[in-house]
Amino acid sequence: MNPMIVTNATGAKTMPIGMTVAQPERQTAGSELTDFAADADVKSVFFANLLSAFTAHERCGAQLYRTAAGMTQFPEWRDKYEEFLEQTEDHVRILSELIEELGGDPMYVSPQARMAEFQGAKLMEPALLAGSVDNMTMELTMLEAVLLAEWKDQANWKLLRALADRLPDSAPAQAIRRAVEQVEEQEDEHVRWAQQSWGKALLGQITTGGMTGGAGGQ
């Protein structure tokens, strides 16, 4: 099970800190994470928390794509949003399986993951202004949100690639490398398409000829 929204109702666990409250059966202590990726030369608790945050960011990305696909008036953009949504949902699966392979629980939501969820929610907030701004402003704003989210996604996977290359050869390093190899080309394409489409759309608006031949980038 790889839910796109992880809550108490879907079996989430978290680390109670400060104002974060969790039922006893949903609590995870740092001591429970010390064996995460135990065969690798990593700080287990920090790494477990980080992968949880990376997974949360992918889940937020799926919600963003779903919203953007439902709002856009450009068929080319809708096709891409729906294609990338499917791939992003698969990235959640890949990260969840990696966490399990490293000895963790993909339903654990770290403090860092909660912060990632907060940041992701902020990228979604402009959708609330639909109807209060012109259509092109909304289209570009949603596309910019996708671009920002994908830049972070790309950075996350590049970091995992660098980590796998730095670690001594081990089962965890191999597992990380296998996960990255399934995703990194798609993430590069997500960023490339969003950046090109954003530039093409803006140039089309700035120049006197306007947008012609569709809004999508190649």
pLDDT in tens, 25-50: 555 655 577 788 888 889 999 999 99
- Residue 54's alpha-carbon distances to 89, 90, 110, 117, in angstroms, are 13, 13, 10, 10
Tell me if the pTM is above 0.85.
no
Q: State how far the Cα of 181 lies from the Cα of 186, in Å rounded to an integer.
A: 10
pLDDT digits (tens, 9 = 90+) for 124-180: 999 999 889 999 999 999 999 999 999 999 999 999 999 999 998 999 999 999 999
Task: Look up residue 218 and give its two tokens.
Answer: 């190649």
Burial of 172 (0-12, 13-18, 19+ CB in 10 A): buried
- Here the CATH number for the domain that contains residue 159 is 1.20.1260.10
Query: In 3-state terms, what secondary structure has residue 108?
Result: strand
Q: What sign does the CA torsion over 103, 109, 111, 116 have? A: positive
Burial of 155 (0-12, 13-18, 19+ CB in 10 A): middle
102 part of a folded domain: yes
With beta carbons less than 8 A apart as the criterion, state whether 14 and 20 touch: yes
With beta carbons less than 8 A apart as the criterion, state whether 36 and 104 touch: yes
Label residue 217 by pLDDT band (50, 70, 90): very low
Number of domains in the chain: 1
Q: What percent of the chain lies above the pLDDT cut of 70?
A: 83
- The whole-angstrom distance between residue 209's C-alpha and the CA centroid of its chain comes to 36
17 part of a folded domain: no
188 part of a folded domain: yes
- The whole-angstrom distance between residue 87's C-alpha and the CA centroid of its chain comes to 11
140 part of a folded domain: yes
